[in-house]
Chains A and B, each alone.
Chain A
Amino acid sequence: MKYNVIEGLKYTQQHEYARQEGNVAVVGLSDYAQDKLGEIVFVELPDVDAEVEAGKSAAVIESVKAVADLYAPVDGTVTEVNEALLDQPELINQDPYGEGWVFKVEMKDQSQLGELMDKPAYEEFIIKEEED
């Protein structure tokens, strides 16, 4: 696979990932998503303490040509945002699973993670998307 999909993370159909750290999920864009968007030039972050809802827009990611919503993968409360992205949005391109994380959310219901895709399922999902 030409895109990096990390073992142990959960993925949404809109190409966000969630990394579980206790009852907190670290949320970002998958490698596939950052590649499709192209050079990211702007990120609009949620407020700390904002309530986010699974499947609803929580942040906005802009590349030169496109504006994309980042949807929260789970319900919860934002505990931290990656302020480094305000000046270096390209971190999402360079290191989507590391320094390019977008926000952390304290989960209301950890079982929501179970509804998301694991690595093999997500890889299969990407292959299907690529075929369209």
Chain B
Amino acid sequence: MSEAKKTPFYEKHTALNGKIVDYNGWLLPVQFPQGLVEEVRDTRKRATIFDVSHMGEVSVKGSDAENFLQKILTNDVSKLKDNAIMYSPVCYPDGGVVDDILIYRVSSDNYLLVVNAANTEKDFAWFQENCSGDVKLENLSSQYAQIALQGPNSKAILQKLTEVDLTEMKFYRFQADVSVAGVNCIVSRTGYTGEDGFEVYCKNEGAIDLWNAVWEEGQNKELRPAGLGARDVLRLEASLPLYGHELSKDITPLQAGLNKFVKLDKPVPFNGQEALKKQAQEGLPKKLYGLEMLERGVPREGYTVKSGEQEIGWVSSGSYSPTLEKFIAMAFLDPGIQEQDEEVDVAIRKRTYRAKTIKLPFYRRGK
């Protein structure tokens, strides 16, 4: 692998004493001195700022853009309006997942796809392989910086920096060419934490000005930095899938419980449609459950889950949850298991620890 890349905010993280790690080839802060638990609480109660510049951005333009997207997405992009965002898995013909992505519709022949950092190259190759007709694909990932401003105070902070009325911007909506403290940005009401919040994209040149303005304004609203560690725990609490854990080339979106993003009856064929229809009819080999530990023990990725002596699956993500003050996990288990209150055991090193199934999501923010 080539040398790890720095985002435009790298010096901001080191100035805040962030602990830097190499995350899929990007040097990013995993946590700050206040610690992961505090970062999670700050996000739920006030506001935090995350550097998510590692995310990939791909522009799709042309009169056949929608046809192309309909073919690669399991979700139905024909339902998407201008300035709206859709989440969708991208599948292989066998139903395994290439990636899970966000689709921003600028207009009927102009879309922006936001993809997972680790998958950017693979996705772009897959898009190229699957496109035909009048479709222009452009990988913009290296040109864009992105911050995620998450938590209940996010709107108040961002509103001070822009003329656009953010109250009018509903969840999963966005606006392009928004001036934020004088920087041209794409502002979207999205996030990966289960809280209200915004993701703000800008060209690298404006990144530092954007960060400085948000940071300065945020000081009146108890804005704190947060790292990848908190981001992972927040998304687990909100039961949002992470590629490589809940989704992979060997796991279908139906197994991950993403049925509402898989339009099996979409009128136009899409990659994976037949395989997914078949799986929906024949039943899932394993499916995603929530687990809550009944005794203290940290369920972690890869640990075996048992029912009595029988192995029934594995943990895909697990952690201590600072919000719920419990140990929680998502796990792929035999589909016969009850979704709620069935006791199972998680094998942790030398012994097993009791857990029970619990409905997902673990955490849902109050209205």
**A residues lining the B interface (CB < 8 Å):** 38-39, 41-42, 44, 60, 62, 64-65, 67, 86-87
The distance in angstroms between the C-alpha atoms of A41 and B233, with both chains bound, is 14
- On chain B, the residues within 8 Å of A41 by CB distance are 298, 320, 327
- On chain A, the residues within 8 Å of B30 by CB distance are 65
Q: Is the CB of B319 within 8 A of A64?
A: yes
* Most chain B beta-carbon neighbours within 10 Å: one of A39, A42, A44, A65: A65
B25 interface residue (CB < 8 Å to A)? no
* Nearest neighbor of A39 in chain B, beta-carbon distance: B37
Write the B35-71 contact mask toward A (1 if CB under 8 angstroms, else 0): 1110000000000000000000000000000000000
Q: A64-B319, A65-B36 are in contact. Are A38 and B349 (CB under 8 A)?
A: no
Write the B306-348 contact mask toward A (1 if CB under 8 angstroms, else 0): 0000000000000110100001000000000000000000000
Q: Is the CB of A64 within 8 A of B36?
A: yes
- On chain B, the residues within 8 Å of A87 by CB distance are 296
- On chain A, the residues within 8 Å of B296 by CB distance are 42, 86-87
B297 interface residue (CB < 8 Å to A)? yes
Within 8 A of A (CB), among B281-315: 296-298, 300
Cβ-neighbour of B36 out of A39, A44, A62, A67 (below 8 A): A39
Q: Is the CB of A64 within 8 A of B297?
A: no
Q: Is the CB of B37 within 8 A of A64?
A: yes
- On chain B, the residues within 8 Å of A39 by CB distance are 35-37, 320
- On chain A, the residues within 8 Å of B300 by CB distance are 67
Q: A64-B320, A65-B36 are in contact. Are A42 and B298 (CB under 8 A)?
A: yes
* Nearest neighbor of A93 in chain B, beta-carbon distance: B35
* Nearest neighbor of B233 in chain A, beta-carbon distance: A64
* Nearest neighbor of A90 in chain B, beta-carbon distance: B37
Chain B min CB distance to A63 (Å): 8
The distance in angstroms between the C-alpha atoms of A65 and B320, with both chains bound, is 9
The distance in angstroms between the C-alpha atoms of A32 and B274, with both chains bound, is 56
B229 interface residue (CB < 8 Å to A)? yes
Tell me the dominant secondary structure on chain B's binding face: mixed
Q: Is the CB of A38 within 8 A of B298?
A: no
Chain B min CB distance to A129 (Å): 14
Q: A60-B349, A64-B319 are in contact. Are A42 and B36 (CB under 8 A)?
A: no
The distance in angstroms between the C-alpha atoms of A102 and B82, with both chains bound, is 59
B31 interface residue (CB < 8 Å to A)? yes
* Nearest neighbor of A86 in chain B, beta-carbon distance: B296
The distance in angstroms between the C-alpha atoms of A69 and B187, with both chains bound, is 44
Chain B min CB distance to A91 (Å): 14
* Nearest neighbor of B319 in chain A, beta-carbon distance: A64
Q: Is the CB of B31 within 8 A of A38?
A: yes
- On chain A, the residues within 8 Å of B37 by CB distance are 38-39, 64
Q: A41-B320, A44-B349 are in contact. Are A62 and B298 (CB under 8 A)?
A: yes
13 pairs, A vs B, C-beta closer than 8 Å = A38-B35, A39-B37, A41-B298, A42-B296, A42-B297, A42-B298, A60-B349, A64-B37, A64-B229, A64-B233, A64-B320, A65-B319, A86-B296
Chain B min CB distance to A80 (Å): 20
Chain B min CB distance to A12 (Å): 22
Chain B min CB distance to A31 (Å): 15
- On chain B, the residues within 8 Å of A60 by CB distance are 349
Chain B min CB distance to A33 (Å): 15
Q: Is the CB of A65 within 8 A of B229?
A: yes
The distance in angstroms between the C-alpha atoms of A41 and B37, with both chains bound, is 11
* Most chain A beta-carbon neighbours within 10 Å: one of B36, B298, B300, B349: B298
The distance in angstroms between the C-alpha atoms of A42 and B233, with both chains bound, is 16
- On chain B, the residues within 8 Å of A62 by CB distance are 298
Q: Is the CB of B36 within 8 A of A38?
A: yes
- On chain A, the residues within 8 Å of B327 by CB distance are 41-42
Chain A min CB distance to B41 (Å): 11
Chain A min CB distance to B234 (Å): 12
The distance in angstroms between the C-alpha atoms of A40 and B298, with both chains bound, is 11
- On chain B, the residues within 8 Å of A42 by CB distance are 296-298, 320, 327
- On chain B, the residues within 8 Å of A38 by CB distance are 31, 35-37
* Nearest neighbor of B350 in chain A, beta-carbon distance: A44
Within 8 A of A (CB), among B60-91: none
The distance in angstroms between the C-alpha atoms of A41 and B321, with both chains bound, is 10
* Most chain A beta-carbon neighbours within 10 Å: one of B30, B297, B320, B322: B320
The distance in angstroms between the C-alpha atoms of A1 and B322, with both chains bound, is 30
The distance in angstroms between the C-alpha atoms of A42 and B320, with both chains bound, is 9
Chain B min CB distance to A67 (Å): 7
* Nearest neighbor of A57 in chain B, beta-carbon distance: B349
- On chain A, the residues within 8 Å of B297 by CB distance are 42
